[in-house]
């Protein structure tokens, strides 16, 4: 990896070390950011490594605890301005998404979040199921592709059917809100804990 301005900037943000120290650390570590962080800490030039830089975002954290406290949900919903974060509409969206997560237990936020190996494992199972039923390899592949879409719909929050209006996808709820508010809204992180599961 080359030592470029981008790298120096990221290193500065993550360590708070000076510009020249960051540049030297990167040269020393051949452009490897993680190694450069350790190098700066070893030299006493950085206190602690911060998490990777991310786009500064506004938004709110929402929670929902289901009756009897046996299921709980935590959600980070981002928007662009604190003004939007404070609107009733935004709060209502956060609440609905929490209810959805509690009820429909998504494993991922979007299709992009499903690891490639999970997809391959699922598809391999579908292929073999089809083969067991005597389908040709070509047909089995087509069946697997169809079933993986059903897998996304079951397991990805944004692809799920909205619990209150099963003909609407959850992502349509978010898109409608984006259109109303005129700024981007992103489901950043979700967590769902259920007792005994």
Residue ranges that bind a second copy, judged by CB under 8 A: 38, 41-44, 51, 54, 56-66, 68-76, 78, 85, 121, 124-125, 128-129, 132, 188-189, 191, 193-197
Residue 165 Cβ, how far from a second copy at the closest point, in Å? 25
For 172-191, b/e burial (b = at least 16 CB within 10 A) is ebbeebeeebeeebbbeebe
Cβ at position 92, least distance to a second copy in Å: 14
Closest contact distance (angstroms) between CB of 21 and a second copy is: 14
Cβ closer to a second copy: 4 or 149?
A: 149
Nearest approach, Cβ of residue 138 and a second copy (Å) = 18
Nearest CA-CA partner of 90 in 186, 195, 192: 186
> Is residue 107 within 8 Å of residue 160, measured between CB atoms?
no
CA distance 80 to 103: 28
Give the nearer residue to a second copy in terms of CB position, either 19 or 61: 61
**By C-beta, is 4 or 70 nearer to a second copy?**
70
Where is 40: in which H helix or E strand?
Answer: helix 33-42
């Amino acid at each position: 990896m080359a030592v470029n301005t981008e790298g120096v900037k990221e290193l500065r943000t993550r360590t708070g070390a000076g510009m020249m120290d960051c540049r030297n650390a990167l040269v020393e570590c051949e452009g490897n950011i993680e190694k450069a962080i350790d190098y700066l800490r070893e030299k006493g030039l950085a206190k602690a490594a911060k998490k990777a830089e991310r786009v500064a975002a506004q938004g709110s954290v929402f929670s929902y605890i289901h009756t009897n406290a046996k299921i709980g949900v935590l959600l980070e919903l981002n928007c662009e301005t604190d003004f939007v974060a404070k609107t009733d509409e935004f709060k209502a969206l956060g609440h609905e998404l929490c209810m959805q997560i509690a009820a429909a237990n998504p494993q991922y936020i979007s299709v992009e979040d499903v690891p490639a190996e999970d997809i391959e494992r699922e598809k391999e199972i579908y292929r073999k199921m089809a083969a067991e039923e005597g389908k040709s390899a070509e047909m089995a592949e087509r069946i697997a592709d169809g079933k993986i879409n059903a897998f996304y719909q079951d397991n990805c929050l944004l692809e799920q059917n909205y619990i209150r209006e099963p003909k609407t996808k959850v992502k349509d709820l978010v898109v409608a809100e984006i259109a109303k508010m005129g700024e981007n809204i992103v489901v950043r992180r979700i967590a769902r804990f259920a007792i005994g599961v």
